[in-house]
Amino acid sequence: MDSCSDNGQEPDAPGQTPGSLSVSGGDNVSSPDLPSPEYPSELQQLANFLRNQPPSDDQIIEFFLPAEQYRQLAELSPDGRFAGSRLRYDYSSATETLALRMPSRKHEYIIQFINDRLLCFLRDPAMVEYTATLRHFGCSDTPYPSKDVTKLITRQPDIQITNMKNPELPVLVCEVGYAQPIKKLHDLAREYIEQTGGRIRTVITLDLAYPRGKRAHLIVWRASFGDDGRFKEVVRGGIVEIRNRHGVKSPDRAAGLFLSPEDFGFTRGVEISADRHIFTVSLDDLYAAMKSMEENDALVKAANADWLKSLQAGAEGM
């Protein structure tokens, strides 16, 4: 989570230079100024930072950006690209904070794995009674009110599914956490549901404990409603451990990711069997995805290192 600010992160610390970049670990990073600015100062610093080609290594970097410059950024990047980089970010108009999401290969591999399973589910003819109104919109913009209801938060969840019966917001989102502390990942899950009054009904959080170890677990968060149909509270599901901090698979063979029609916005008592599981990913499949993620990442890193070494050797031999 990677992985899009009111994202549980604080605005710039007192004394921090406006427009400076704040890595999630707390260090400030000031990007160099170009001789001929193309944009207003804060947006220019963002452009300079991106042109320095920072590594995508599961960081979340906060950047102060006034609301008018955020609107300018949106106009300048209709295809999601700015200053030569493809952007993923969250933005809070309440704090005027842009949080750049800079995911790694490991993060993107797990997102692709879950996406593939969801797409298979959506295309399954046997599930058409449920999936006919469901659409997969990737990590597109999802705006909703902040706690200051006059201001908006715009996020780009790792995964989102929309039920076109109520298309104003996704009904389900998934966030893979890697860079941010687990508390911020959990606060984000609650925010999605609470700030939308349960319109975002279901949030899946998958926590990868890197670099602290190999533990991986998921939680499904759900909106709860009263008898009158009004949103009541957020209900946190149990922790589903995929593997422990040593990388050992959970012994609970019955564990996994299980979603019902209600999780996709279908009402209990109206649709038939609304409480049965219609989407499942077994513990074995989740664990295998984790191992494959690490193996693929190691192969790519080794291949990159060999390639760069051969380039360097060729340059020295010229």
Residue 244 clears pLDDT 60, i.e. is over it: yes
Enter the pTM of the model.
0.80
Q: Which of 103, 105, 110 is nearest to 289 (CA)?
A: 110
pLDDT at 239 over 60: yes
pLDDT for 165 beyond 90: yes
Residues of the chain with pLDDT > 90, as a percent, come to 54
Q: What pLDDT band is residue 148 in, cutting at 50, 70 and 90?
A: confident
Of the listed ranges 44-58, 250-264, 282-296, the least confidently predicted one is: 44-58
Percent of the chain with pLDDT over 70: 82
pLDDT confidence band for 84 (50 / 70 / 90)? confident
Say what angle helices 283-316 and 105-123 make with each other, to 10 degrees: 130
pLDDT attached to residue 280: 96
Q: Is the model's pLDDT at 305 over the cut of 60?
A: yes
Class of domain 105-307: alpha beta
- Per-residue confidence (pLDDT) for residue 267, from 0 to 100: 74
pLDDT score for 224? 96
Find out whether 95 and 11 touch, Cβ atoms under 8 Å. Answer: yes
Least confident of 21-25, 178-182, 192-196, 304-308: 21-25
Any idea what DSSP says for residue 214? S
Q: Is 70 a residue whose pLDDT tops 90?
A: yes
What pLDDT score does 169 carry? 97
What pLDDT sits at residue 77? 87
- Judge residue 248's burial from the number of C-beta atoms within 10 Å of its C-beta, 0-12 exposed, 13-18 middle, 19 or more buried: exposed
Residue ranges covered by each domain of the chain: 40-102, 105-307
pLDDT number for residue 33? 45
Asked whether the CA dihedral 252, 112, 181, 11 is positive or negative, the reply is negative
Is 16 or 254 the better-scoring residue by pLDDT? Answer: 254
Pairing of strands 240-243, 172-177: unpaired
pLDDT tens, position by position, 123-137: 999 999 889 999 998
The DSSP code for 48 is H
pLDDT above 60 for 260 = yes
Inform me whether the pLDDT recorded for 2 exceeds 80: no
Q: What is the band of 106 on the pLDDT scale with cuts at 50, 70, 90? A: confident
Name which residue leads in pLDDT, 195 or 107: 195
The answer on pLDDT for 279 being more than 70 is yes
Least confident of 5-9, 103-107, 147-151, 274-278: 5-9
- Report how far apart, in Å, the C-alpha atoms of 280 and of each of 93, 231, 266, 288 are: 37, 26, 17, 15
Q: How confident is the model at residue 265 (pLDDT cuts 50, 70, 90)?
A: very high
Residue 153 has pLDDT above 80, yes or no: yes
